[in-house]
């Protein structure tokens, strides 16, 4: 399962006590009841994402044509340099 960026739980905090947003957490389950975190789909948010931006609605699709899986997602806020709407915060 691929999830919207979010802390895994209330104890998922950094050294200063701030909640850590995981960049598209991945979880697995053998019974669809008990889930285990196995890492994040991205090592970090894309370079063009604004600080603190969320990564939402991940979707993974298999392509028979390329024999690979592709991950798409939405970034809530991007840096002004790539935005097209400088100063836009949402």
The pLDDT tens digits of the residues spanning 28-83 come to 999 999 999 999 999 888 888 888 788 999 999 999 999 999 999 998 888 777 77
- pLDDT higher than 80, residue 27: yes
Nearest alpha carbon to residue 72 among 42, 43, 38: 42
Q: How many residues does this entry show for the chain? A: 90
The verdict on pTM exceeding 0.85 is no
What are residue 2's DSSP bridge partners?
26
Euclidean distance between CA atoms 85 and 78, whole angstroms: 10
Report the alpha-carbon distance of residue 6 to residue 25 in Å, rounded.
8
pLDDT digits (tens, 9 = 90+) for 2-26: 999 887 777 788 899 888 888 899 9
Alpha helices in 1-90, H assignment, sequence order: 80-83
At 3 the pLDDT is: 92
Query: Cα(first)–Cα(last) distance of the chain, in Å?
Result: 26
């Amino acid at each position: 399962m691929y999830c919207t960026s979010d802390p895994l739980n209330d104890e998922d905090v950094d050294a200063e006590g701030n909640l850590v947003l995981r960049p598209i957490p991945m979880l697995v389950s053998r019974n669809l009841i008990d889930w285990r975190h196995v890492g994040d789909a991205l090592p970090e948010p894309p370079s063009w994402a604004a600080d603190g931006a969320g990564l939402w609605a991940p979707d993974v699709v298999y392509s028979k044509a390329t024999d690979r899986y592709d991950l798409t997602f939405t970034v809530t806020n991007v840096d002004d340099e790539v935005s097209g709407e400088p100063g836009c915060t949402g």
